[in-house]
Amino acid sequence: MAGEKVAKFSKDGGPLEIEIEIGQNKTGKCNFFLFDKNGNQLQNGSGKKTNNIFQLNGTLKELDGALLTWDATINGPNQPGQTWKVTMTIRQDGQAIKGGVNPNGDPPTFQLVHVMDDKVRLEV
Amino acid sequence: MKNKTFVFNITLFIVLFVFPIWGQTSVVKINVINPPTNLPLCKTRIKTAVSNGTATTIFSVLIPRSLELDVDGSTVSYKTESNNYVFVFEGDAGTCETKATWYEITLSGPGQINSGSNSAPTVVTSVATSPAPTELEAKEENKAETKAKEVDFSIPESPGFTILGLTPQEVTRPATPREFATAIINSIDRNGNLQSGIAIDTAPYQSFFGKSVNRDRDYIDFQDDKKPEEKNREPLKHYLTRFLWRTQFSLATTKGTTDADKSARIGAGLNFTFFDFGDPNTDFLLRACNDGVNDELDDQALKDIGVNRRADLTQALQPLFEARKRFLITQGFMIKKYEACVDDSEKRNMGKSSFGVGLAGSWISKNGESSKFNNNGQGLWASLAYGFEGIPGLRCTEDEIKDETSRCIAPQLIFHFRRRVKETVPDPLLAGVFTTKDSNLFGVRLRLGVPRWSVNFEGVYRGERFAGKKSSSNFEMTIGADYKLATNLYLNFSIGGETKDKSNTTGGSKVFVRTSFNWGTSQKPIN
């Protein structure tokens, strides 16, 4: 798909892990879903900390072409103009892979609660 | 309505019979699951999705005004243009802006878009797609019913006003500051002169480094092994970040408006909050409450799109899951749940213990001209607030906090000391002449209140010495109140009296009245 984000990992490296961080001193809940190239779900997870680390299941071969989606429900004060930042990082052997650092942030600013989501295609 | 129905029927005819002949469009049927209670005034936005198995495109469908509620059972055609799916309507498309009225629909149809491609995408069927307004649209929709509630109570007293002696209460209250706040004040100062002023308060660390602060990694100790109510809100871990986060810089200016005092003053100060058990950022119960609502949001969104378990969510449905969540957080029942968490947090954190120290410098232009400012001395102060934590009957219980009808009032006792040196003031005996004085102040303030309002009882002992004069002292009593008028707008009012100075330099006892407005804004307000 044109414009799709792609993260490249090494077929000879170790397993992939992802970290979803909620910044700006906000809290919230994050989810991730991993789909194979046929659109079937391989794995999902959720976390309520502001730095959540998940190990991706499946062999690197299975992950080639997989789609990783993540979302976060961010909580803040009931006051307009709240800023937010969510960063999803994919690491292999402890290092962020190419295209693996995915920051998202305002605008728009929010009040009380905000939902964001994004996705990236994993490729060797 | 009949004319509109006729137009609709014509549209339907065109959609059903004319467009297919061209071979460029396909048709799907709209089934309204949850019709709106109000008729749309203009176009109505429906958000839905088309999937080709591996990728899903979400787009908006605009239902023209002419269709109104007859959209149920109607048919909509669409065509592909450069990988975009374009829904086609005839009739009154309207020229006014799209209004925030949404239908909950399913689309069913032939199952394929006749795009002439072998990899023709299919319409997602048998799925309750939800219209997902943008968040700004949703905010407009809910603006009227979203009550203004702040987690961080009223705006803390400005250090700039503290050094200038113009806070509504002499005993200032330590608190976690906002990133940005402003305050205006109209007050009669201790010398009986009317002063008008404005202060701008900022939290520099929040402004410059706030984006990089991760709550669990940098600000709190999560203490996984403890229940939310048992966690220590002020541990040593990450103390420096909390200290910097709460450090406040303030710049204030005032102008005398009477003949006896036409001077202009500037105060610039820093306020350091060493601990604050009422910091909403360390409220683990608020967080647990939000976590529960966040779980409910996910569960409801999955249920609404027909998915029983997270593991059953397919790639085609994932965008609908996200769209549904966005839609749900615009709905009143869900907003109320998040608001309830914030309300409870306000009650829980009202009047908790905290400690702060401030220091500031001041400059004065005796004639009020901006080019002639001279040093007006310095000030140092400390405030210790005690919130009676752990004492039964003096703190709101969780049951009282969650009870909306409860009028639980939280007391807070604040001790304050202030040292002020080389302050230039009008001579109390000679009109139009200025002199300097040093002063020490010790005060106690009892604050009783709920998040929306509070009442203050204050007693202050003040010792001061004018240049070339003997020391004098007096005692001051004040009763005051602050009330939240509207979002970010607070009214402060106090009335009091002071005893006659022992040295008799100020001419006798006084009764005074002070009023002020405070308002606060966030960094990027939405209008």
Contact present, B434 and B425 (Cβ < 8 Å): yes
The reported pLDDT for the residue numbered A56 is 96
Q: Which residue has the higher pLDDT, B500 or B299?
A: B299
Residue B212: its chain A contacts at CB < 8 A? 23
Domains of chain A: 6-123 (2.60.60)
The reported pLDDT for the residue numbered B134 is 35
pLDDT at B107 over 80: no
pLDDT at B94 over 60: no
* Residue B214 to residue A33, Cβ atoms within 8 A: no
* Residue A75 to residue B338, Cβ atoms within 8 A: yes
Q: In terms of Cα–Cα distance, which of B340, B240, B342 is closest to B283?
A: B342
* Residue B213 to residue A81, Cβ atoms within 8 A: no
pLDDT at B104 over 80: no
DSSP string, B435-456: EEEEEEEEEEEEEEEETTEEEE
Which of the four pLDDT bands, split at 50, 70 and 90, describes residue B23?
very low
Q: Which residue has the higher pLDDT, B436 or B66?
A: B436
User: How many CB atoms sit inside 10 A of residue B2's CB?
Assistant: 6
User: How many CB atoms sit inside 10 A of residue A32's CB?
Assistant: 22
Dihedral sign of CA atoms A46, A52, A53, A59 in order: positive
* Residue B315 to residue A35, Cβ atoms within 8 A: yes
Torsions phi, psi for A10 (to 5 deg): -90, 135
Most confidently modeled range among B35-39, B144-148, B274-278, B428-432? B274-278
B-contacting residues in A 95-124 (Cβ below 8 Å) = 105-106, 108-115, 117
Residue A106: its chain B contacts at CB < 8 A? 524
Contact present, B42 and B96 (Cβ < 8 Å): yes
ipTM of the complex: 0.96
Contact present, B165 and B256 (Cβ < 8 Å): no
* Residue B214 to residue A25, Cβ atoms within 8 A: yes
* Contact partners, residue B37, CB within 8 Å, separation at least 6: none
| % of residues, chain B, pLDDT over 70 | 63
Contact present, B52 and B119 (Cβ < 8 Å): yes
B-contacting residues in A 31-70 (Cβ below 8 Å) = 31, 33, 35, 37-41, 44, 46, 48-51, 67, 69
Cβ–Cβ contact B177 with A under 8 A: no
pTM of the predicted model as reported, rounded to 2 decimal places: 0.73
Q: Which residue has the higher pLDDT, B37 or B312?
A: B312
Question: What does the pLDDT profile of chain A (124 residues) look like in tens digits?
Answer: 557 899 999 999 999 999 999 999 999 999 999 999 988 999 999 999 999 999 999 899 999 999 999 999 999 998 888 899 999 999 999 999 999 999 999 888 899 999 999 999 999 9
Calpha distance B357→B421 (Å, rounded): 17
Calpha distance B512→B165 (Å, rounded): 14
* Residue A33 to residue B318, Cβ atoms within 8 A: yes
Cβ–Cβ contact B403 with A under 8 A: no
* Residue B213 to residue A23, Cβ atoms within 8 A: yes
Least-confidence region, from B103-112, B257-266, B484-493: B103-112
For residue A41, give how far its alpha carbon lies from the nearest alpha carbon of chain B (Å): 6
Least-confidence region, from A27-36, B124-133, B478-487, B509-518: B124-133
Cβ–Cβ contact B302 with A under 8 A: no
Calpha distance B243→A87 (Å, rounded): 25
Which of the four pLDDT bands, split at 50, 70 and 90, describes residue B171?
confident
Contact present, A36 and A42 (Cβ < 8 Å): yes
Calpha distance B394→B456 (Å, rounded): 16
User: How far is the CA of B229 from the CAs of B222, B235, B280, B309, B495, in angstroms?
Assistant: 12, 14, 14, 31, 39
Calpha distance A70→A119 (Å, rounded): 6
Residue A73's Cβ-side half-sphere holds a number of Cα atoms within 13 Å equal to 29
Which of the four pLDDT bands, split at 50, 70 and 90, describes residue B26?
low
The reported pLDDT for the residue numbered B7 is 54
Residue A78: its chain B contacts at CB < 8 A? 146, 148-151, 338-339, 342
